[in-house]
Structure 1
């Protein structure tokens, strides 16, 4: 002792059982047995099977896009006149959500459909008139072509007749020339005979009259041939002029018909535009009442009050479809995606439901729910992780809670193959990825849960 204090410390006779226990041999053997038992237990645990898994976080969603929350949008611009729903109300497909009124001055006229119908009727009459005009011009063209054919045939016949007359007059002229030559020879012979005293003055004068008559006939034949040739030329000119004149009339009719066809096309275009406008006005007036696209619950109104104006395609409210097919979207790291296949079992822990999870021993977990990997995205999300869609395991004995809401938080484990505990500890210490020994079977993920 250091004898710092004047009071002596004497433990003799004091009842201190702890000190007495430490000094016993029985206590030492008991402690050794405990240590050995713990070591053996730890050794046994190291060789127990451990199911590898990949964890991820996500939210509750719907499997199909049509079951996910959607915004109800209006097609036309308008002014809110009356609300027919409130937030949290259940609506059926086709129920009225709100009523709009018109804000564009082009549609203010209450009798606009009637006036457009009158315009359509007038334009239909105009189109019918154009069609009748085209028909009349077609008949006129047909008549002109028939008249041209007959006139050309008549003119060709006249040309043939003039040609035949020219040939006939040419023959007559040749004959008269022969007669004139004969009369000329006889007259010369009679002149010589008169000089020789063989013929009298009377005979010479008679022969001279015959010669003059033959000359007159020759001149007449030449004139007739010249006239016949002129008639032939005139016939040919008339033939050409007839064709040119009728072609001019036909061209004018064709031009008038083309103008009528063009006017008909314009009229049909305007008529189509008017009919389209009538249909648009009818459809637009049906859009004054905004209806629910499907059955669901009105989650939140994005426009408030009465009298507020909204634009085309602007969101009015958010609608959650009824009875969606629940699913969970989990986000896992890119390095873990190759180890996951469709059909893998997933254990899920939902926010708000207490659970005790042993990730390597899912059979002893409490408060978790089973699922199956249904979809694996081919591209990563904005956060760099890949999304998995997990659907309920239909063969699991515990159904997902009916109180689940879309958007609730979820923590999940995708179950892989079984390995010893020591291997899993060694893998975790070295940062190695999980191992994949075999592909999932057709019934992989079946079985009960607690």
Structure 2
């Protein structure tokens, strides 16, 4: 090897029969290298024309398609102290099963007879409202009686007024007649006095005429007195008619005032009854909140509040529950630049954590261990991470997702896009261009339109 000795091995040992040694001789080594390089170049060049499926890779996790089937936290509606646990973590509970019981820690709810005593207050106020209602009805009946009585009194007073008017008219006629008789008697007396002076009549006839004149004068005075009296009665009848109306208005106003007062008290009492009934309903509902019930069928995942005697506030989380039956979906996130490429109905391949897979992202046909999905929903706004959420469900046309798949498991999603040559994908990646926005069918249709 170092050529120190002048003796050569190939001169003493023939190599014509050693084929392996002949193969190692560098006689045709350059030709072999050229052939190998040519084959590699041809293979690489041929691979450039192989179909490549464009895709978008995105990390996500398994969730439930419906919001009511996702894991939820059970909170306490009221403040209280944990008294007893009825289940343990990991146990299955049906909807309505009691999970734990809490007791009150506020002094206004310590009374063990709180509901019966509140019901007594409701009943008492209800009876009071009913009494005020009956009083209102009685006052309404009284008002109706006053109105009927007033009509009768007015009719009576009007009749009395009419009678007074007729009497005034009659007495005025009598007074006028008495006045005429007085004037005639006065003239007759004057003539008799003249005849007496002339001696044509006797003193007896004169005195008789004087007596008759005094009688006529007395009748005139009596008629005038009756006429004035009837006028006074007419005024009294008019005053009485006005007094009846005023008295009726006064009594009616007083009765209505009492009725409105009773109605006001009735309404106040009814409002108090409604408030007490509301309070009773709140107390009754609060009593039910002392027992924490399972909202749906599921498994208890983790207890947040533990131990006995521990106090909790309103709205504090107590434990987590995972629904037993849920339609699984994958929640994955895509960049805004890739959002136009995602459409409802697109195919997606998934690699679930815990399930080994051999993946060739550009050739999904030869991948193994992946599961298919279909895009069903895309958010219309970006989340806090400046990415858009995409919901993907199981593809019914492909192999079903694993039965042991659980909510919260990680999922590596590969959204499949267009089929393009390898050289085109390399050129796109080197230039930083996004994937194609159009499908091959759309491209063919555009090409036909241009032709």
TM exceeding 0.5: yes
Distance 1:408 1:130, change over 3 A: same
- Partners in 1 of 2:179 and 2:441 — Cα distance? 126
- Contact in 2 for aligned 1:346/1:413 (Cα 8 Å): yes
2:422 matched residue in structure 1: 421
User: How many residue pairs are counted as aligned between the two chains?
Assistant: 434
1:56 matched residue in structure 2: 58
Pairwise CA distance, 1:434: 0.8
2:431 matched residue in structure 1: 430
Distance 1:285 1:11, change over 3 A: farther
Structure 2 counterparts to residues 51-450 of structure 1, below 5 A: 51-396=53-398, 398-438=399-439
2:449 matched residue in structure 1: none
User: Secondary structure at 2:74's aligned position in 1?
Assistant: strand
- Partners in 1 of 2:129 and 2:147 — Cα distance? 27
- Partners in 2 of 1:68 and 1:300 — Cα distance? 15
Distance 1:204 1:9, change over 3 A: farther
Pairwise CA distance, 1:275: 2.6
- Partners in 1 of 2:356 and 2:25 — Cα distance? 44
- Partners in 2 of 1:294 and 1:76 — Cα distance? 20
Distance 1:248 1:168, change over 3 A: same
CA displacement 1:163-182 (0-9 Å, x = unmatched): 01001111111111222222
- Contact in 1 for aligned 2:80/2:313 (Cα 8 Å): yes
- Contact in 1 for aligned 2:378/2:390 (Cα 8 Å): yes
- Partners in 2 of 1:29 and 1:348 — Cα distance? 47
User: Secondary structure at 1:261's aligned position in 2?
Assistant: helix
- Partners in 1 of 2:237 and 2:207 — Cα distance? 45
Report the TM-score when normalising by structure 2. 0.90
User: Secondary structure at 1:130's aligned position in 2?
Assistant: helix
Moved over 6 A (4+): 14-20
Matched, 1:24 2:27: yes
> Which stretches in structure 1 are left out of the alignment for 5+ residues?
442-450
User: Secondary structure at 2:292's aligned position in 1?
Assistant: strand
Q: CA RMSD in A?
A: 2.5
Pairwise CA distance, 1:107: 2.1
CA displacement 1:137-172 (0-9 Å, x = unmatched): 222222222221111111111111000100111111
- Contact in 1 for aligned 2:77/2:314 (Cα 8 Å): yes
CA displacement 1:63-90 (0-9 Å, x = unmatched): 1111111111122211111111222222
1:444 matched residue in structure 2: none
Distance 1:94 1:248, change over 3 A: same
2:448 matched residue in structure 1: none
- Partners in 2 of 1:68 and 1:418 — Cα distance? 36
Pairwise CA distance, 1:8: 5.1
User: Secondary structure at 2:283's aligned position in 1?
Assistant: helix
- Contact in 2 for aligned 1:71/1:316 (Cα 8 Å): yes
Pairwise CA distance, 1:372: 0.6
- Partners in 2 of 1:361 and 1:144 — Cα distance? 102
Pairwise CA distance, 1:329: 0.9
- Contact in 1 for aligned 2:64/2:327 (Cα 8 Å): yes
Pairwise CA distance, 1:12: 5.4
User: Secondary structure at 2:221's aligned position in 1?
Assistant: helix
CA displacement 1:243-275 (0-9 Å, x = unmatched): 212222222211111111112112222222233
